[in-house]
Amino acid sequence: MTEPAVQAVAWWQAAILGLVQGLGEFLPISSSGHLKLAQHFLGLPSSEGMFAFDVLLHAATLCSLLVYFWADLRQMTLAWLRSVGVLLRTRNWRQALAQPEAKWTWLVLLAMIPTGIFALGLEDVIRPFFDNVWPVSVMLLCAGAFNWFSHRRLQRQPEGRRIEEMRWIDALAVGTVQGLAAVFPGMSRSGSTIAVGLGRGLAGEAAPRFSFLMSVPAVFGAVLVKLPDLLKPSAEGPGPAAMLIGFVIAAVSGYWAVNTVFTTVRRGKFSGFAYYCWTIGGLSLLLLLLGVGR
């Protein structure tokens, strides 16, 4: 009788990866960077099964966003449909953008243009350099710098513009950095987009809100493109039970992380995230220099 294939990932390892993804996707500390480091130091294989599990965890954090921003997303969708109708009838952009939620949606869609260009255009070029965890550790140090900038900005300028007061150049700037963060593991998507939003003059809570709303179509598109990888059978990834555990933990911790970002912004203190990224990035570099995890 043939022995059943042994799964390479235990349930507790899947749980750790789910927690890392859920917290890192929305806290400005880089989920991709932490997943790379976690898989490396846990000795997990880089396989199709692990790649499929990564896609599943991203789907879990997408669920977190949909639940947290359900009211906003519903209003944005209805307002956008009405604005399209107004635009077709009047060909007047000012009337079409009269409702704030309609303008939010158009700005998010505009931001997706540079996100898609950079994410799809650079992924095959950049990703091979990050198969090694050394550059990931360096990018975590850069993520700390983005968070420190946000901290200083919140301290000096707590007030700012609302989302509906954004200009098209602001949306393109935030969308560009989101596209770059998508292909540089260790460069926090939320941290970099929040920093750029604050740098463009957005108010404290407007910057993370636009960042998270903008990530909904970005994450959905990424999951949709990589869905075939999730459906491939593999004996090297987590089993069904472990995948379910990882999914649930990622979704719950992701919801908590989104709420924590808003709470932190209201307090005007982002320095803790900066210190954390610098500590993890520096510690990772030290362990690699010492040969730990090879």
- Dihedral angle sign, alpha carbons of residues 12, 18, 24, 30: positive
Is 70 exceeded by the pLDDT of residue 235? no
What CA dihedral angle connects 97, 101, 105 and 110, to 10 degrees? 50
pLDDT at position 248 is 96
What's the whole-number mean pLDDT along residues 117-143? Answer: 81
Query: Once rounded to an integer, what is the mean pLDDT over residues 103-117?
Result: 94
Using one digit for the tens of pLDDT, what is the confidence trace for 18-65? Answer: 999 999 999 999 888 888 788 777 777 665 557 778 888 989 999 999
Give pLDDT, residue 42. 75
pLDDT at 45: 63
Determine the pLDDT at residue 6. 44
- The answer to whether residue 181 scores a pLDDT higher than 80 is yes
Name, of 25-34, 80-89, 113-122, 218-227, the range with top average pLDDT: 80-89
Band of residue 231 on the pLDDT scale cut at 50, 70, 90: low
Q: In which band, very low, low, confident or very high, does the pLDDT at 136 lie, cut at 50, 70 and 90?
A: confident
Question: What pLDDT band is residue 8 in, cutting at 50, 70 and 90?
Answer: low
H-assigned helices in 186-270: 189-199, 206-225, 227-231, 240-267
Residue 72 has pLDDT above 90, yes or no: yes
Rg over alpha carbons for the chain, rounded to the nearest Å, is: 20
| CA gap 136, 33 in Å, rounded | 6
Separation of alpha carbons 219 and 222, rounded Å: 5
All structural domains of the chain with their residue ranges: 48-289
Specify the range with the lowest mean pLDDT, choosing from 41-55, 72-86, 252-266: 41-55
Residue type, 51: F
Instruction: Determine the average pLDDT of the residues in 156-161.
Output: 78
d(CA 84, CA 28): 34
User: What is the distance between the terminal CA atoms of the chain, rounded to a whole angstrom?
Assistant: 36
Confirm whether pTM is higher than 0.85.
yes
DSSP state of 187: S
Residue 108 tokens read as 């998010």
Rounded Cα distance, 112 and 132, in Å: 29
Q: How high is the pLDDT of residue 47?
A: 54
Q: What percent of the chain has pLDDT over 90?
A: 53
